[in-house]
Amino acid sequence: MMQVEATIKELRPRNRNKIIEAKVYRSWIARDPPGTTEKDYIGCYISSGQADTIGDPNRDQMVIRKVEIQNLNRNSIELTLWDDLADKFEKDQIDALEKPVIIAVSSCKVSRYRNQLQLSSTPATYYINPRIPHLQDYRAEYKELFNLNPPLEIVRQPYEDKEQEKLRNRFALSVLLHQIPKTYEGVWFTCEGTVTSINASRDWYYPSCTTCSLKAEYNDGIFECKVHGPLEYPSYRYNFKANLTENTATSTIMFFTPKANDIVGIDCNSLVASLTNPDPRDIPEKIQQVVGKTHIFQFQYNTSSKQGSGTMQEPCEKINKDIPQQTQPLAAITYIPTPAESTNIQATPVTATQEQRDTPPALEDTLAKQSSKGSAADTTKLTSAK
């Protein structure tokens, strides 16, 4: 392919043969940018979305498709297929194959989205059940793992239809409590449950910055935000835990401002102002009245429960009959199962007869040397949940 010299303004997403001359003014190594080296990856095919188009319809448009892959540590990574690979991806045929289905991706790029690593197919090639020496070993390991605790079929994108959204990723709490939270980080689930009790062992509110949600520290008679400095007065935000029960399963769920306002029926600032001597450990009657109420909740796993920390929590909301157009977080499951508990679910074993495709020798050598398990550090780097 002949290379053509161009400027940055002349570059287009579909260009493959243009080069530019540039000068690096600053190296952002401190931000730990993903490497540009092409990587090979092998794991278990979990699911894939429909092909979609992005870009200006009046100019260049690209076809895109998302594929979820898991390794043996149940860490998920999202593979993005582009253009021809996305358009010609045989989703129906692959979904119909006997599980587990092994997928190998060669020469893919690693990128970062919302602090999570992702794989991009440009200019990668994928192989379904590739002919590599350890294929049957991989399939046997995945089959054993998935028979104990089958992966959940997840819909990551929200539905436009409100009734469908109420049922998106509807799984019993008894099932969710035996999953590995990191596997479904950022995934929204729904359930219809009842608030059975309020946790009185932790603060039900905290003073926060009026600009951000960080906890405001009280020093020498002055409230101060670590980011925005001294405050004339703080804001107060809900941050309480409750037990959510569905049938025989119970989980801890966290409530945050602003969506907790809908559950309690009053915003936190107003509730604190209405109390004579507000105490963060003394649960007011207004919050106690939440107990016994049944709602449809939309929530996600909480992988960081540090109170008032700078880590952005994205737990979920109560879904009413009319779902607001812009949903905001309200509650999150914080239960993390023990290894013993994660093996309670049993499934019927299945036999292994799969359609296979040839794998180039170079890729075969690389993948044969890889272990799908890897070390804890290695698999963490490949975790992604968009």
pLDDT in tens, 34-80: 555 556 788 899 989 888 888 777 777 888 888 989 888 888 888 88
Average pLDDT over residues 198-207: 93
Chain Cα centroid distance, residue 121: 20
Q: Where are the domains of the chain?
A: 33-150+349-381, 162-333
| Rounded CA separation 165/323 (Å) | 9
Which of 40-49, 65-74, 116-125, 246-255 has the least mean pLDDT? 116-125
Q: Does 162-333 match 33-150+349-381 at the fold level?
A: yes
* pLDDT above 70 as % of the chain: 69
Q: Tell me whether residue 6 is exposed, middle or buried, using C-beta atoms within 10 angstroms of its C-beta: 0 to 12, 13 to 18, 19 or more.
A: middle
Average pLDDT of the residues of the chain: 74
CATH topology of domain 33-150+349-381: OB fold (Dihydrolipoamide Acetyltransferase, E2P) (2.40.50)
Q: What is the pLDDT of residue 58?
A: 76
Average pLDDT over residues 290-305: 84
pLDDT greater than 60 at residue 190: yes
Q: What is the pLDDT of residue 113?
A: 52
Chain Cα centroid distance, residue 221: 41
Q: What is the pLDDT of residue 286?
A: 96
Beta bridge partners of 244: 195, 251
Q: What is the pLDDT of residue 367?
A: 42
Q: Which residue has the higher pLDDT, 266 or 62?
A: 266
**Domain 162-333 CATH class label:** mainly beta
Could you tell me the two tokens for 285?
Answer: 């009657």
Global pTM?
A: 0.59
Could you tell me the two tokens for 167?
Answer: 């049922």
CA 125, 130, 131, 135: dihedral to nearest 10 degrees? Answer: 140
| Rounded CA separation 279/282 (Å) | 5
| Rounded CA separation 24/20 (Å) | 12
| Rounded CA separation 79/385 (Å) | 11
Q: What is the pLDDT of residue 274?
A: 96
Which of 58-67, 164-173, 269-278 has the least mean pLDDT? 58-67
Q: Which residue has the higher pLDDT, 235 or 183?
A: 235
Could you tell me the two tokens for 219?
Answer: 């020093």
| Rounded CA separation 278/285 (Å) | 12
